[in-house]
Amino acid sequence: MKTGTKFIHAGTEPDPSTGAIMTPIYQTSTYVQEAPGQNKGYEYARSQNPTRTALEAAYAAIENGKFGLAFSSGVAATDAVIKLLSPGDEVICSNDLYGGSYRLFSKIFEKFGIKFHYINMQDADGIRQYINASTKLIWIETPTNPLMNICDIEAIAAIAKEGNILLCVDNTFASPYLQNPLDLGADIVMHSATKYLGGHSDVIQGALMMNSQELRDQLYFIQKSCGAVPGPMDCFLVLRGIKTLHLRMQRHCENGRAIAEYLRSHPKVGKVWWCGFEDHPGYAIAKKQMRDFGGMMSFEMKDNSIDEAKRVLSSTKLFALAESLGGVESLINHPASMTHASIPREERLKNGLSDSLIRLSVGVEDAEDLIEDLAKAIG
């Protein structure tokens, strides 16, 4: 089945009672049982909900996996993965990762005796020196947020399998339209479905996809026991969003290329981080494991001043100054004070995230209008 057809039909069947082509919103907290312990597959909505069941089937399908699980947010999905571990276990993760993931790891789970190593993963072989008997999980983003670094999923998966270590890939920036980590050897894929999967900036949700029945059962137990589940309306919204994912991503990619090339040619713009440039250090790997290069990018002004960056951030009209990404509308963001503010400044600077860095989530508007908006803001 081709990608677009799969996204439109994933997880959904006409409602058997009415023939409704869209999955109904089952707005209920409990279900009547035929007899004690006898039900129709649903007993309490924290454990199961038919709208969520359809979405979880869609999640599995779009990542070429066997199982999907829906959570109340991307951070909740990440939280569930870390809860697979025990005190004394160690995690190797990217040093350039989403600030919310860093906050969860460093401020919550380190207190429970889990150790995190934040390293540069652009050289897969460099991971080996951090692996020991306590290493239980490798956590990567690719492309990374916000510096668009690329990790070789297939190479890292091979290293993980050598040590019987779980590999989880945060695939939020790429989306299943551009990249499928399970096909490359990952054990778990995580998405902030708030972003490209929902696609309309109207829902908060997270997702996990996997092929292992054992992993699915462990993560489902955590999902059910800890209760970070999405409501049926949220599930309905993401189901709807997935149906147009391929159409939106095509436009995100087209616009992303146009904006990246415009910024790189602008005399007042300094460095532009976008993994579709042929001289990007990870271009060859990105080209190998991705179908296109997406609409996420970052840049700095040539004078590299924080005041100039703030002026640009406050001057756009179509690019809204806001956190998040992946919606149909374009967003402009200041990672140092917004999405990555929870990472200590010295750590941000060490990893190349400057105070003057500007991140763009390029939407699906007309590219000419977006370029004009940036041109007026940059001056």
Closest CA relative to residue 110, chosen from 118, 122, 121: 118
For the segment 367-375, the average pLDDT, to the nearest whole number, is 98
Q: pLDDT by residue (tens digit) across 82-99?
A: 999 999 999 999 999 999
Let me know how many helices (H) and strands (E) the chain has, helices first: 13, 12
Report whether pLDDT(201) > 90.
yes
Question: To which H or E segment does residue 114 belong?
Answer: none
40 vs 201 pLDDT, higher one: 201
> Whole-number mean pLDDT of the chain?
96
**In the prediction, which pLDDT does 350 show?**
85
Q: What is the pTM of this model?
A: 0.96
pLDDT of residue 50: 96
Q: Given 26, 52, 83, 98, which residue is catalytic?
A: 98
Band of residue 347 on the pLDDT scale cut at 50, 70, 90: confident
Note the pLDDT tens digit of each residue in 27-39. 999 999 999 989 9
What's the confidence (pLDDT) of residue 339?
82
Tell me the per-residue pLDDT of 230-287, one tens digit each, with 9 for 90 and over.
999 999 999 999 999 999 999 999 999 999 999 999 999 999 999 999 999 999 999 9
Question: Is 170 one of the annotated active-site residues of the chain?
Answer: yes
pLDDT class of 11 with cuts at 50, 70, 90: confident
DSSP letter assigned to residue 103: H
Q: Single out the catalytic residue among 83, 195, 348, 359.
A: 195
Of the ranges 121-125, 172-176, 182-186, 233-237, which one carries the lowest mean pLDDT score? 121-125
Whether 46 sits among the annotated catalytic residues: the reply is yes
Catalytic residue flag (residue 195) = yes
With a cut of 90, say whether residue 105 has pLDDT above it. yes
Question: How far from 286 is each of 2, 66, 232, 250, CA to CA, in Å?
Answer: 22, 25, 36, 17
The structural domains of the chain, ordered by start, are: 3-242 (3.40.640.10), 245-378 (3.90.1150.10)
pLDDT at 305: 87
Confidence at 346, pLDDT banded by 50, 70, 90: confident
Give the containing element (helix H, strand E) for 43. Answer: none
Could you report the per-residue pLDDT of 118-136, keeping only the tens digit for each?
A: 999 999 999 999 999 999 9
Query: Among residues 6, 15, 42, 46, which one is catalytic?
Result: 46
Instruction: Provide the CA 332 distance to its chain's centre, in angstroms.
Output: 18
Mean of pLDDT values over 149-174? 98
What's the CA dihedral at 116, 119, 122, 126 to 10 degrees? -100
Q: What are phi and psi of 88, to 5 degrees?
A: 95, -15
Q: Which one is catalytic: 96, 170, 187, 234?
A: 170
Distance set, CA 234 to CA 71, 196, 201, 347 (Å): 10, 14, 12, 35
258: three-class secondary structure by DSSP: helix
